[in-house]
Structure 1
């Protein structure tokens, strides 16, 4: 049984967040489910991702580096997939934090990009194959 079942985050502008996250999660093969005060995305074998409207509007955005959310890393199958998802996110209104590039300080195989939405929610698209797979 998986340890992580779901991840819920709170956003200032729910319609905007749904549109931005939907572009990314749809590209990853997740299905969206709408609710009265939020939306969620699910894909078999993966934890559910949920966005909720803030109970107190105007309390955002979250500031990276403060207590709370840091970022969510989404592992993908290739550097090309990092590039593709990065472009989809940017086209959907995400702000570029770091453009796609190699991160040799992590491993010599690590390739990633970072984007942030209007609520200060940061996600990373990353490719870091096991050493054996990288040799292929």
Structure 2
């Protein structure tokens, strides 16, 4: 199944809203609009609101209710940071965000590792051959992460 192209931050927020509705999750969104508000616009001049090309960058921070605790920070540069129970996964393409969330809430995401190793890994498989893996320090192994633990 081909992923829909999400041409803007607002399109990504709309797609996340659809996922939240499908899984009956509460959702709050905070929008930051303008270079003076977005987190990555260090190249813009002091007190600038628009980019050099005249565009108005839009960043959104989304909090989803339920278990696991998930936040999504959608950046104007076509990528996102998704945090699942304290485990942050950076550089997720904006187009992959809905599939990522469906994997987490649909029961496909899991944690792998062993008790006496370096740690655990959060594994989030997406349709096709795309998989995200992020180290989970033992100190933040939440109840949801523990429930989804698979031994190697």
Do they superpose with TM above 0.5? no
Band of TM-score, shorter chain = 0.3 to 0.5
**TM-score, length of structure 2 as denominator length:** 0.31
Larger Rg: 2
**TM-score, length of structure 1 as denominator length:** 0.34
Structure having greater relative contact order (Cα 8 Å, sep ≥ 6) = 1
